[in-house]
Amino acid sequence: MMLRIRSRDGLERVAVESPHITIAQLKAIIQSQLKIPIHNQTLSTNQNILLANAHGDRSKFMDMSNPNTLLSSLNLSHGSIVYLAYEGERTVAGPSIHPAGSFGRKMTMDDLVARQMRITRQENPHCELVSFDRDCANAFQHYVNETLAFAVKRGGFMYGTVSTEGKVEVDFIYEPPQQGTEDNLLFFRDQDEERLVEAIAVGLGMRKVGFIFTQTISRERKDYTLSNREVLQAAEFHSETGLKEWVTAVVKLEVNEDGGADVHFEAFQMSDVCIKLFKEGWFETDIQEDFDPKLSKMKKDVVVGVKDTRDVDNDFFLVVVKIFDHQGPLSTTFPIENRNVPVTMKALKNHLDRLKGLTFVKRISDFHLLLLLARVLDVSSDVPALAECVQTQTPVPEGYKILIESMASAA
């Protein structure tokens, strides 16, 4: 029978006698056929082992750690995929070249450029870590879980701060007008609304720091982390900014040990070479239905390992970022924009009434409330002034307080 072995070098195949051999025997076969020493191999049925960038991280993958375990007990059979992480370097057999004429194959300019465009894994992110404000992260996941039931995709832009050490803190998520399906997420970018969002962010001493989106439960368990469409969208939004610490976050449901489902956050950076390829137009952006979603198709050959190819495993473009959480300066209790129910001034009145026991600046310390106010206030003077009060937690000038309360009362 044949097993497929996916490593950082791509997908390769090994021949084994039957599914009744042990892990130790499989490692010996890999050593013989793929030239990777047994002591350098870490095997798993979990694709995430390919994203682990250190030996300590790989030790978490224990499903194939017992050398006496039979492949059949892991439900491995003909055509199954086993994921392989290994230490060191090796030479991978490339495609055969058939020379044309006595002087060999004629090289075109595209061939020469492709030989210079090598795709390798980026081990370290520019972002030291990303920390999510607990309230804003919960408001996002609660909506996609309880209201959308992870049936369609949902996304947003993350705003916060970046420290000099490269630590990103996410303090609010702006959700643009959008339409999500099982496999696609389309933003209807509203430049006027985004101008208001940017004005609020500046007043709060924050900036756009990343893109967050969900994966649906209808996507059966696949052997990839991000699809080719998701890689393209993440690269597009990353390319819009000059922020090297830009983060892409994924929210999905994962089955837990008890058979239930837990909401899970993952964070990545798109690699430098991914952004370079996107900006220079290497990606095939017209994705057909018959394209393999775990592979990004290039318009020209690139070099992966020692192979010339136009199909690149999406995992090559992902750099894992550590996730933490914190309690940020803003609340996230006000209704969120661009969801199923329009946000009106009635929501402002209810919100202010509910928080009567707090100072006025605390009552308006919510990005989504500020965005509603920004639609009627002056974006160049009033919005930054109010946002600065929220940032510094200083009393709101009486004139603004009266104006906001009168808008709420008129609802």
Q: Residue 258 — very low, low, confident or very high, per pLDDT cuts 50/70/90?
A: confident
Domain final residue, candidates 292, 326, 360: 326
Domain final residue, candidates 326, 358, 376: 326
* 164-223 per-position pLDDT tens digit: 999 999 999 999 999 999 999 999 999 999 999 999 999 999 999 999 999 998 755 567
Report the predicted TM-score, pTM, of the whole model to 2 decimal places: 0.75
Do the domain assignments include residue 105? no
Do the domain assignments include residue 147? yes
Q: How many CA atoms lie within 13 A of 159 on its CB side?
A: 22
Is there a contact between 36 and 90 (Cβ–Cβ < 8 Å)? yes
Do the domain assignments include residue 403? yes
- Position 77 scores a pLDDT of 85
- Position 51 scores a pLDDT of 80
Asked whether residue 172 falls in the same domain as residue 316, the answer is: yes
- Position 196 scores a pLDDT of 96
Asked whether residue 273 falls in the same domain as residue 198, the answer is: yes
Q: Name the residue range of residue 55's domain.
A: 2-86
Which of 11, 88, 83, 92 lies closest to 52 in space, CA to CA?
Answer: 83
Q: How many CA atoms lie within 13 A of 227 on its CB side?
A: 23
Q: What is the mean pLDDT of residues 228-255?
A: 94
Domain count within the chain: 3
DSSP string, 167-222: EEEEEEEE--SEEE-SS-EEE---HHHHHHHHHHHHHTT-EEEEEEEE--TTS---
Q: How many CA atoms lie within 13 A of 259 on its CB side?
A: 0
Q: What is the mean pLDDT of residues 133-143?
A: 97
Phi and psi torsions of 226, nearest 5°? -120, 145
Asked which of 31-35, 101-105, 212-216 is least confident by mean pLDDT, the reply is: 101-105
Asked which of 103-107, 217-221, 384-388 is least confident by mean pLDDT, the reply is: 103-107
Per the rule left: phi > 0, alpha: psi between -120 and 50, beta: everything else, 39 is alpha
Q: What is the mean pLDDT of residues 227-236?
A: 96
Long-range contacts of 404-411 (CB under 8 A, 24+ apart): 404/348, 404/352, 404/364, 404/373, 405/352, 407/345, 407/348, 407/373, 407/376, 408/345, 408/348, 408/349, 408/352, 409/349, 410/345, 411/344, 411/345, 411/346, 411/348, 411/349
Question: For residue 64, is pLDDT > 70?
Answer: yes
